[in-house]
Structure 1
Amino acid sequence: MTDALSPSFLSDLERSSARERLLLAACDLFCRQGINVTGVDAVVAAAGTAKTTLYKAFGSKEGLVEAVLEREGSLWRDWFVAKVDAIPGDATNKLVNLFDVLREWFAEESFFGCPFINAVGEHDKEDDRMREIALRHKKIVLDKIRELAKEARPHDPEGLTHELALLIDGAIVAALITRDPGVATHARNAAARILMK
């Protein structure tokens, strides 16, 4: 076991803390200003680290972008799934009311849209790297919706999953553009109508 006061332990802690600061700063800047317009200098200045620290931790700006997306995706999915699981009632009720969860997210001051949608929108459309990262995130979200859709519409869970996914993505983009969390209520109403079929 490493002694808590040893120099190697302290340097590991310092690296970890600098890495976390870089992730937090990059996430804020990428979401607020965009990935392409945010340079490495702005990230290291906001994080209070050296440029060499960024390159040691992530290898490149693209490595940092990928790390930010993986981190933010994991945190968001954990939050979203926990909120949906806490909705009382059956699967149908959870699927309709998950749009109230989205409304809560849209109302946050730090809501700047979905980092994955934004990243794909900003990057070269012939470069599949960002799309693949976004699809990995989307698959996990869809798996949660599909789990509920199997109970709510056993004769067509795939159709229901994709119908609701389109409403979710549309609500996210509409909330980003309009800055109106109320778009989630319109999506909720549409989901309720879909689930009556």
Structure 2
Amino acid sequence: MGKSVSKKQAVAAALAANDEESARGRLLSAATHLFCKNGINATGIDAIIHEAGTAKTTLYKLFGSKTNLVHAVLESEGKAWREWFIGAMEEGGGDAQSKLTRIFPALKSWFGEERFYGCPFINAVAEHDKDAKQFRAIALKHKKVVLAHIEKLAGEMGAADPESLAHQLALLIDGAIVAAMVSRDPGVADTAALAAGSLFGPSRVKKPKRAAGTAQLVAV
């Protein structure tokens, strides 16, 4: 009898866990859509639970507060975006420069999506107190991962200053995202790609060092 009750309890616990995971997923999905489309401050709890089809008590049980939900959305969106973005650069292989040149075609594809509302990190920082550290910290953490991968590829490409090149490309990326959000024109990615092309010129790449004997031979 005791074992039977224990099994029932285990099944009930498993079902409850599945229900919570399902509710969490629906809340994250609803909040992500509404925060990106309408803004964090303009989106109330009632709108989120209505779209998610959950109770308000469920939201507070799973996340504790709207601020915690915002953090969860940014963490989730950041992870998904980084996986997509880095995957888009790496897909198809090739040398480091080939991978870097895939940045803006990938962004153009993203800009053309119906649910493109800009970068959630830029948007979150933009609509909150600029002295508030919580959203800037999450945004900088996200940017650090993206920059690190671009810098790694810049180094493999032989850039004279991989860190500087990564930051220059990041500025073009951020600028293209904001311009596309405002203009609703995916073509701004092509303009950014043209600007990025000048960063890959011969003067930006380290010249291979020649051995002393080779240099003397050439001189003769």
TM-score by shorter chain over 0.5: yes
1:114 alignment partner AA = C
2:88 alignment partner AA = K
Q: Name the larger-Rg structure.
A: 2
**Does the 8 Å CA contact 1:149/1:161 hold for their aligned counterparts?**
yes
Tell me the CA shift for residue 17 of structure 1. 0.3
1:90 aligns with 2:95: yes
* 1:144-167 Cα deviation digits (max 9, x unpaired): 101111122432111101100000
| Residue in 2 that maps onto 1:187 | 192
- Map 1:158-177 to 2 at 5 A: 158-177=163-182
Unaligned segments of structure 2, at least 5 residues: 1-5, 204-220
2:30 alignment partner AA = A
**Does the 8 Å CA contact 2:28/2:73 hold for their aligned counterparts?**
yes
| Residue in 2 that maps onto 1:107 | 112
1:50 alignment partner AA = A
Q: Could you tell me how far apart the structure 1 residues matched to 2:178 and 2:106 are?
A: 15
| Residue in 2 that maps onto 1:47 | 52
Cα RMSD for the two superposed structures: 1.5
* 1:60-103 Cα deviation digits (max 9, x unpaired): 00000000000011011111111110144321222122110111
Unaligned segments of structure 1, at least 5 residues: none
**Does the 8 Å CA contact 2:24/2:62 hold for their aligned counterparts?**
yes
| Residue in 2 that maps onto 1:8 | 13
| Residue in 1 that maps onto 2:210 | none
Q: Please report the TM-score for the alignment, with normalisation by the length of structure 2.
A: 0.86
What's the secondary structure of 2:123's corresponding residue?
helix
| Residue in 1 that maps onto 2:74 | 69
Q: Could you tell me how far apart the structure 1 residues matched to 2:200 and 2:64 are?
A: 47
| Residue in 2 that maps onto 1:21 | 26
| Residue in 2 that maps onto 1:130 | 135
1:32 aligns with 2:37: yes
Q: Could you tell me how far apart the structure 1 residues matched to 2:54 and 2:45 are?
A: 11
2:176 alignment partner AA = A
**Does the 8 Å CA contact 1:97/1:188 hold for their aligned counterparts?**
no
Partner residue of 1:117 out of 91, 114, 122:
122
| Residue in 1 that maps onto 2:83 | 78
| Residue in 1 that maps onto 2:162 | 157
**Does the 8 Å CA contact 2:159/2:165 hold for their aligned counterparts?**
no
Q: Could you tell me how far apart the structure 1 residues matched to 2:96 and 2:7 are?
A: 50
What's the secondary structure of 1:6's corresponding residue?
helix
What's the secondary structure of 2:43's corresponding residue?
coil
1:154 alignment partner AA = A
Q: Percent of pairs identical after alignment?
A: 55
Moved more, 93-102 or 43-52: 93-102
What's the secondary structure of 2:102's corresponding residue?
helix
**Does the 8 Å CA contact 1:3/1:9 hold for their aligned counterparts?**
no
